[in-house]
Amino acid sequence: MKLKVLSLTMALILCTGTLAGCGGGTDKEETNGGTEANANQTQAGDATMFGNADAEYTFKVAVNTSAGDVLYESVAKFCEELASASDGNIATELYGGSVLGSGQELLEGLSFGVAHIYAESIGTLAPFSARANIDAIPYLYSGYDHFINTWKGDLGEEMREAIGEEANFKLLGGMYRGARITTAVKEMRTVEDFKGFKLRAPNIDVYVKTWRKLGASPTPLAITETYTAIQQGTVEGQENPISECYNYGFYDVCPYFIKTNHVYSQDVFMMDRNTYNELPENVQTMIADAAVVASEYRNALMKDREAEVEEKVIEKGVTIIEVDMKEFISKFDGFVEEVYPDLVDWTNEIKTLDISA
């Protein structure tokens, strides 16, 4: 309890000191933001600033990808929108490429002002809320339309709010990340082929259990270490949305891209819940609205981007493998009931929202 009280006290001190004009930086590579720079955009240390440096509020915004990636572009869109909607009263400093720390460090540091807003998947909150595992339940959606229909509706808002409240984060917006595929050094087409397959998986409970269910051997690694791990034979592949597979250059070390399409997940804009609640209502509204605008922007881009990237990796010599989806889906019969019984109600509700069924 003392630790929690100390954390909240520190958060309030840091918010008071940093929200009204936090500058700074590290010695890491500078990043550039977005496709349309705000008229008042300037460089602030190792960040890209959107808005007026003399604004009443300045938020540090973090994202782990870099300029050119669709998530980074979407976060830059959020920053532009926030500066514009507030008439310059709110400025943001956008830090990309893990400049402010790893994902776990950022999540733990939001309450201390390491960053004020962080864009990442809901699933990364699993250490704080077991219900965040809903973000990566395998074969929960029939496709993009089912996913969007779920998360743009009342159930999506209910899930974001329940997870955020339990984890003590405010979750805003909701961005389609793309269907997760598998990249591998060897050809694999059936469930049987995946037995013993050594792959990098996120250090998130549901991902690890998913791959064990398929008989694979998941190894949690930082994504930044994965390319080298594949080169050295430590692992034989990894899994991610195809756009991220391309951004990290996995086509150089994995000649096979296997469309397992096992997970559809969502990125959101996260804030420490106490920090968010301390803000004036009009500022909260502008942040929430900017998150929706940025999310719509990314959702419109992402489906086309998946098709574009598939063509690009084929040009680089990658073999695209389609699998018998029914075989993989059947492998997970009873998975949620056995491993995540607290998520059964949500998964059942999600299934009823499949407009293609």
User: Is 131 contained in some domain?
Assistant: yes
pLDDT tier, 2 (very low <50, low <70, confident <90, very high otherwise): very low
Do 208 and 289 share a domain, yes or no?
no
User: Is 106 contained in some domain?
Assistant: yes
Query: What pLDDT does 297 receive?
Result: 96
pLDDT digit string (tens) for 151-166? 999 999 999 999 999 9
* Rounded Cα distance, 35 and 68, in Å: 9
Do 294 and 152 share a domain, yes or no?
yes
* Rounded Cα distance, 220 and 204, in Å: 8
Q: Residue 134: which CATH number? A: 3.40.190.170
Do 155 and 269 share a domain, yes or no?
yes
**Residue position matching structure tokens 């998941």:** 218
Do 69 and 209 share a domain, yes or no?
no
DSSP per-residue string spanning 284-311: HHHHHHHHHHHHHHHHHHHHHHHHHHHH
User: Is 164 contained in some domain?
Assistant: yes
User: Is 109 contained in some domain?
Assistant: yes
Q: Write the CB contacts of 31 (distance below 8 Å, at least 6 apart in sequence).
A: 46, 47, 48, 66, 67, 72, 94, 95, 96, 97, 99
* Rounded Cα distance, 3 and 144, in Å: 42
Do 339 and 212 share a domain, yes or no?
yes
Do 283 and 230 share a domain, yes or no?
no
Do 194 and 244 share a domain, yes or no?
yes
Instruction: Quote the mean pLDDT of the chain.
Output: 87
Judging by DSSP bridges, how do beta strands 169-184 and 256-259 pair with one another?
antiparallel
Domain that holds residue 56: 2-178+265-306
User: Is 71 contained in some domain?
Assistant: yes
* Rounded Cα distance, 353 and 159, in Å: 14
Q: Among 25-34, 295-304, 312-321, which range has the highest average pLDDT?
A: 312-321
Do 136 and 209 share a domain, yes or no?
no
* Rounded Cα distance, 275 and 338, in Å: 37
Query: What pLDDT does 19 receive?
Result: 47
How many CB atoms lie under 10 A from the CB of residue 326? 9
* Rounded Cα distance, 30 and 176, in Å: 27
User: Is 225 contained in some domain?
Assistant: yes
Q: Does the structure show a pLDDT above 60 at 351?
A: yes
User: Cα angle at 123 between 247 and 277, to 5 degrees?
Assistant: 110
Helix (H) / strand (E) containing 320: strand 319-322
Distance from first CA to last CA of the chain, Å, rounded?
A: 48
pLDDT digit string (tens) for 12-53? 334 434 444 333 333 323 333 333 334 344 444 478 999 988
* Rounded Cα distance, 212 and 354, in Å: 27
User: Is 357 contained in some domain?
Assistant: no
User: Is 111 contained in some domain?
Assistant: yes
Indicate the DSSP class of residue 350: H
Among the residue ranges 14-18, 99-103, 332-336, 353-357, the one predicted with the least confidence is: 14-18
Do 84 and 188 share a domain, yes or no?
no
Query: Of the residues 274, 290, 306, which one is the last residue of a structural domain?
Result: 306
Do 147 and 249 share a domain, yes or no?
no
User: For the chain, how many helices (H) and strands (E)?
Assistant: 13, 12
What mean pLDDT is predicted for residues 259-266?
96
What's the domain count of the chain? 2
More confident residue, 64 or 269: 269
Whether this prediction's pTM lies above 0.85 is answered by no
pLDDT digit string (tens) for 181-219? 999 999 999 999 999 999 999 888 999 999 999 999 999
What mean pLDDT is predicted for residues 81-103?
93
Do 246 and 274 share a domain, yes or no?
no
Do 332 and 299 share a domain, yes or no?
no
- For 18, 69, 171, 305, 318, the CA distances from 205, given in Å and listed in that order, are 34, 26, 20, 28, 30
- For 166, 239, 288, 342, the CA distances from 123, given in Å and listed in that order, are 13, 15, 20, 16
